[in-house]
Structure 1
Amino acid sequence: MSSMRGRRHDGPAMTGRAIRRVWLAKWVGGGRVLVAKTLAWMSEWVIAGRLAAVGYYRRARGWPVGAGMMRIWRGRSQTPRLLLVPQELRTADPVRADEIIAGLHVFAGRTVQAVDPFAATPPSEEWQEALSGFGWLRHLRAAATPEAGAAARQLVEAWLAAQGRDHSVGWQPQITAERLRAWLAASGLLLAGADEMFYRRFARSLWWQVRVLDAQFASLAPGADRLAVLVALVMAGLCLEGEERLLKWASQRLGEELDRQILPDGGHVSRDPGVLVGLVLDLLPLRQLFPARNVTPPAAILTAVDRMMPMIRFFRLGDGTIARFNGMGPTGIDLVTTALVYDESRGTVPGSAPHSGFERLEAGTTVVITDVGAPPPASYSTGAHAGTLSFELSTGRQLVVMNCGVPTVHRASWRKEARKTAAHSTATVADRSSARFVRRGPAEGAMLSGPHVVEVDRRDLTVTATHDGYRRRLGVQVARVMTLAEDGERLDGEDAIEGADQPYALRFHLHPTVQPVPTEQGRSVLLLLPTGEAWVFAADAGVTIEESIALAMPEGPRRTSQLVVEGRSGTTPSVRWTLRRLERPATHVPDSEPEPQLPL
């Protein structure tokens, strides 16, 4: 298998020079703002003398800014008129609206009962981020009642009053961008029946948040956060009066970032499928706003959605969830469904994503998605996982084999474990991950080393792939072959660990609803599905059932099981395994006695 032909993905390992580049990218936003950053550290008043960047940074840190500083930015109205209201495509829940009106704030699995939640002690950082992002305004907007409007204005007033406190989390770039989009989308509800004083404070805050994002953009590291900030700036430029220069600059930069981050096959350069859904739901309203303002958008903004839509279908399994690769968490089924409503590709699902490094096998009701790509570039690898050659399998609407994924809450505490190779359905050698990550410093989280060469060969429903993630440290190469039967009733696989004598473990993480039942011979396990189906996992080596955890569940992490096949490359260099659906025995209906004939 070491002489396979086919596509080749090269992912350079992190050399000392590469580490310094990642460090520099996170420190100065790609090396483009070194002078501005140094001046900011030396003296904020230096930047204040250059059109008021000090006002941006003071506000971004939660410090109060006086009217004198606000007048530094000349030539623009500080209370702009709202010209357009963007569409909100994310689904709303009227029950959530009733809870918010009643003062019950439930975010990130935590609940706070308070009239002014911004004055309460946040139970977790995730809760504070969700509260400060104002994404929940869509629930009040959908309710469209006077009570909902009054509650929305009251909470916006509470946030405006809390700006003088230490609320640094609420001024993070991605949180500010989310809040700006949410306020613009809910402006119709907020301003209906509002007095002039509220309108002036609301409009002035919008103006300030635009200025803050404009200043923060240059220092952002490469990644999806840059796209989120640019989308918010373009939306503000289209919806607010007097922001023509901002609109021209931001739309041009957004087009450039989309060309840079969205690969030709529609995947994101970070290889995180979850980025696509949120980005599509943000870009679709922009495509409607540009014609309304009679402005021609960059071509990249118009075509990016068309490229990403097929990839969302590509990563979608039979149960409607998105495959858990490279930082993907719980799937918002409603968000995916909403995004696909606007898909103009008529349901086309590609079988291969060569630029993103994934393959999809589909036959009958069975879907298999496997990761056969090299790690993303170092500057985009802060969320990447060491899951090369891992796969997920679904049958019908039931997920059977999965990766652990990442949770919605307590992501920081689970991040290290979720990124390990052992948290994926693939081979782990010597109990080590196939990639290493920077543990501390400005480049913390970036991928330090990983598979340098990943070779892939796809023939019909057979995928053969190898990676060298363990070659330098352990002297072995990992290979996997998977073949899906044409009727989707059987998946045959073979894993090979070639090279030095090393212990290894093949892991197959099961969905929490799948019940494994061991058999007497010890080389097969019966898998009982809640749908009534039964599958059998069999291998030519011993199979054990161990505990695992499914992190990417909507209700939070859940205990589950994993199938483990252990061996040593010196004695058993390869293991063949099979996942096969059991045929249901035909139900025999005895012939009933003929009914007696009635006399005529």
Structure 2
Amino acid sequence: MMNLNIIHKIKHRVHAATYNSALYRWTLNGTVPEHLIVKPADPWPGDAAAGRFLCNGIFTLHGEQFPVAQGDWAPSGCSAVWTAHIHGFEWLRDLRALGGDAARRQARMMIESWIEQCGHWHDSAWDAAITGRRMAQWIALYDFYAGSADEDFQSLVLESLVRQGRHLSRVLMGRGVEGMGAFHAMKGLAYAGLGFEGHENWLEQALDMLDRELPRQILSDGGHVSRSPAVLLDVLRILIDLRGALRAGGFPVPDDIQPTIDRASQALRFMRYSDKGFALFNGAQEGDVALVDAVLMQSNARGKILRSLPDTGFERASVGRSVLMVDAGRVPPYPHDVDAHAAPLSFEFCYGRERIFVACGSNPVDDEWRNMLRGTAAHNSVTLDWRNAAEIRKDGHFGRRPRSVVVNRQDTGDACLIDAVHDGYVPLNGVSHRRRLYLSEQGHDLRGEETLTCATNLTREIGVVARFHLHPRVTVSLTKDGTEALLRLPGGAGWSFVQSGGVLSLENSIYMGQGCRPRKTKQLVITTTMNADLAVLKWALQREGA
């Protein structure tokens, strides 16, 4: 993988030198059509409040604000996330939601300013994925911001779109974009191919790329190869958009798009709880409920929620009002592992609309927080010697990782047993972790067993920590001289937590399931020392009075 990174860096430098030359800029010139013949509809909601902030020079993202001086498209302190947001122009939806002439003028002013400042190639602003996002927004929302504009502005926009389209087409010929970015890039190129007469080859190129990427990135069970519900949501939106754009242009929809939408929407429903929020795996937060509802409505997802996503690597047990979600998969392959979490066999547990045991979440804006929350200790899992179960390298990708994650499941009547084992720690100390989770009694009884086995004869003591992070709405106190814990849900329902094989303690934790600000919460922690080839921890969570 290190060699691949070096090759990518060399290619990037060569391409940058080429794209930044006067000769290359000249090659982007050419005939510009007088109008767009297809302007696909954009069905996704915007935020009027965010639109008002934009009119005052303030970008907003996930509740955070980033003020930018007028005409400054390279503000200091702008991270990669903010750069993608600012130059991707998906905030045009916010101005559309605000509505009115002032919002239209603001949109035109910002687009014209961008063309003046960034109309020639720039390393970040012309990134393939960002360029695709920007082109798709300019085309889909064209009537909103340009319908009442003068001909000079319209010509300026169309000329810039064609120049960006020529560049994007060349980049994609060299397959210079990977992962989720490939879908953003192909969407922008497809919209340009539909919108501009004489550039149907761009549409063909985008659909050829889609034909390659779908089997690479969307697994047979509908999940995304990154194993992230948030990434799956973005891909599903793009597929729905492409389907609608092709229909609007009178083009046939490729045969594999609708079946992929069907599978992906079922996988997306799988990853939601009764509160309609996502499970917090692999960089996902609870998500925008209204947006996810809109996506599922557009996809027309129906049928029962699945019990397993075997290819993506998740198990879901629903008994009574309780839902248990288990990460029973391996780390995604390179390069899709860059935002994945080191959390084999971690789980979350909900009762009704209340989350009880949760992962700590993620931060969609701050890299430092996001990387810290990828660790094993930020999940309901077991750590050995305070090490991650998979090695997260400085470049964000994984080094050491579990080679084997094996899961067996038994469903009998109103009970479910999930029995799984991973070998993530074997290269460090020869120890494998087996987790057995049993849910029964109408969902009122959750039991766990953690078995740690060393097959190579243990040579030293190993510190063992099992963590159970609680949602901030759950209150907790230790009882019976600290040997048990009492959990209380907002509605008053009480749950008791007991364990054997270790020492129980109550520690501070944080929750970042929504937005960018951490919320204080608690975690139950079982600690012990492994000084033989076998160690077993047992625990149970049972509803009181059930």
Output the TM-score relative to the length of structure 2: 0.91
Structure 1 stretch displaced more, 497-506 or 350-359? 497-506
Taking a change above 3 Å as real, the CA distance of residues 481 and 80 of structure 1, as seen in their structure-2 partners, is farther
1:314 alignment partner in structure 2: 270
Q: How does 1:584-599 map to 2 (within 5 A)?
A: none
Counterpart amino acid of 2:321? T
Q: CA deviation at 1:234?
A: 1.5
Unaligned runs of 5+ in 1: 1-18, 29-33, 45-53, 585-600
> Where has structure 1 moved over 4 Å in runs of 4 or more?
24-28, 37-41, 68-71, 112-115, 164-168
Query: Alpha carbons of 1:323 and 1:367: their partners in 2 closer, same or farther (altered >3 Å)?
Result: same
Q: Secondary structure at the match of 2:335?
A: helix
Answering whether residue 479 of structure 2 is matched by residue 519 of structure 1, we say yes
Q: Structure 1 stretch 133-142 or stretch 106-115: which is displaced more? A: 106-115
CA contact (8 A) 1:368 1:393 kept: yes
AA paired with 1:488?
G
Q: 1:567 to 1:25 in 2, by over 3 A?
A: farther
Residue number in structure 2 paired with 1:583: 545
Tell me how many residue pairs correspond in the alignment.
533
The alpha-carbon deviation at position 490 of structure 1 amounts to 1.6
- Report the equivalent of 2:38: 84
Q: Following superposition of structure 1 onto structure 2, how do residues 426-445 of structure 1 map, counting pairs within 5 Å?
A: 426-439=381-394, 444-445=395-396
Q: Describe the SS at the equivalent of 1:451.
A: coil
* Structure 1 range deviating more: 502-511 or 142-151: 142-151
d(CA) in 2 for partners of 1:372 and 1:554? Answer: 27
Give the corresponding residue for 1:399. 355
Instruction: State the match for 2:302 in structure 1.
Output: 346
Residue of structure 1 equivalent to 2:409: 458
Looking at structure 2, the residues matched to 426 and 358 of structure 1 have their Cα atoms a distance apart, in angstroms, of 15
Cα distance in structure 2, aligned partners of 1:574 and 1:144 = 61
Name the amino acid aligned to 2:447: D
Give the deviation of 1:309 after TM superposition: 0.4
Counterpart of 1:592? Answer: none
Secondary structure of 1:323's counterpart equals: coil
Q: Which has the higher contact order (CA 8 A, sep 6+)?
A: 1
By how many angstroms is 1:115 displaced? 6.8
Q: Distance in 2 between matches of 1:317 and 1:130?
A: 28
In 1, distance between residues paired with 2:545 and 2:194? 59
Give the match for residue 5 of structure 2.
23
Three-state SS of the structure 2 residue aligned to 1:578 is strand
Q: 1:330 touches 1:406 (CA, 8 Å); kept in 2?
A: no
Q: Give, as a single letter, the amino acid of the residue that structure 2 aligns with 1:581.
A: R
Inter-partner Cα distance in structure 2 for 1:73 and 1:123: 31
In structure 2, do the counterparts of structure 1 residues 294 and 538 end up closer, same or farther at CA, with 3 Å as the change threshold?
Answer: same
- Name the structure 1 match of 2:282: 326
Deviations 1:283-331 (A, max 9, x none): 1121122123232233222322111001001111222221122222351
Q: Which deviates more from structure 2 when the two are superposed, residues 189-198 or residues 534-543?
A: 534-543
AA of the residue aligned to 2:223: G
- Tell me the TM-score normalized by structure 1: 0.83
Aligned-partner residue type, residue 136 of structure 2: R
Shift, 1:70, TM fit? 5.4
SS in 2 for 1:415: helix
* Whole-angstrom distance in 2 between the partners of 1:157 and 1:73: 19
What does 1:121-520 align with in structure 2 at a 5 Å threshold?
A: 121-122=75-76, 124-125=78-79, 126-163=81-118, 168-217=123-172, 218=174, 220=176, 222-410=178-366, 412-439=367-394, 444-460=395-411, 461-499=416-454, 500=458, 501-520=461-480
Higher mean Cα deviation, 296-305 or 247-256? Answer: 296-305
Q: Which amino acid aligns with 1:447?
A: F
Cα distance change on mapping 1:307 and 1:166 into 2, 3 Å: closer
Letter in 1 for 2:159: R
Which residue identity is paired with 1:91?
Answer: P
The Cα RMSD (Å) is 2.6
What is the CA-CA distance between 1:355 and the residue it aligns to?
A: 0.6
Q: Secondary structure at the match of 2:542?
A: strand
Whole-angstrom CA distance in 2 between matches of 1:120 and 1:438: 29
The residue that corresponds to 1:101 in the other structure is: 55
CA distance in 2, matches of 1:337, 1:545: 37
CA contact (8 A) 2:365 2:516 kept: no
Give CA deviations for 1:209-251 in whole Å, capped at 9, x if unaligned: 2223223333535311112211221222122322211111111
Work out the CA distance in 1 between the residues paired with 2:105 and 2:117.
Answer: 18
How far apart, in 2, do the equivalents of 1:92 and 1:300 lie? Answer: 29
Partner SS state of residue 406, structure 1: coil
Task: Return the offset for 1:268.
Answer: 0.9
Within a 5 Å distance, the mapping from 1:528-539 to structure 2 comes to 528-539=488-499
Deviation at 1:578? Answer: 1.0
Partner residue of 2:507?
A: 546
1:262-296: per-residue Cα shift (whole Å, max 9, x none)? Answer: 00000111212211111111211211221232322
How is 1:35-50 mapped onto 2 (pairs within 5 angstroms)? 40=15
- Deviation readout 1:163-222 (Å, 9 max, x if unpaired): 179964333333222222221221011212111110111111111222232233335353
Contact 1:101 1:151 in 2 (8 A): yes
Assess, with a 3 A threshold, how the Cα gap between structure 1 residues 553 and 111 changes in structure 2: closer, same or farther.
closer
SS of the residue aligned with 2:27? coil
Counterpart amino acid of residue 531 in structure 2: G
The AA in structure 2 aligned to 1:508 is F
8 Å CA contact 1:408–1:556 kept in 2: the answer is: no
In the alignment, is the contact (CA less than 8 A) between 1:381 and 1:446 conserved in 2? yes
SS at match of 2:368: helix
Structure 1 residue 405: Cα displacement: 2.3
